[in-house]
Structure 1
Amino acid sequence: MMSEYKEIVERIISDSRGEELLGASVVERGKGAVLAAVHEIQDHHEAARELERSLLEIPQVFLDMASSQPAASASINC
């Protein structure tokens, strides 16, 4: 990685368009960081959606338990 930076610095120094090259390098490096952040946000978003789906299932679990409870009580009392 260090040799990559050296190469970029050498190109900037030797080229008359050094400022443009520096700007392009920053943009290119920044683009990778932005893409990595976007992927991380997407992963977190998907995890949050999965959590939301799980939380929405909880009331149904309680309803199922409540509806099966009277039948279980009746069989125990007999």
Structure 2
Amino acid sequence: MKENHSSLYINVILGAAGTLLVALAAMSSFSLKDNSSNFMLFFGFIFIINYINYLEKKAGISNKITWIRAIGSIVIFISLGYLLFY
């Protein structure tokens, strides 16, 4: 059975965009002084990232694409975080 790699890569991009949005929302929540759920946000985000990496391995996405997505997400997160919160 032939797999459609383009739809798989689109889903990887959408997953990366979703995690970026969650990270930016968590970062804005960290800026609040009286928020006691920062601990849960931090570890919840780490658990989400680990689960996405697990799903990408199960889907057969190469390590090269996973590293490109991770590095791209980090660069975009840092630049957007700097622009929005500093």
TM-score by length of 1: 0.38
Structure with max Cα Rg: 1
Structure with larger RCO (C-alpha < 8 A, sep 6+)? 2
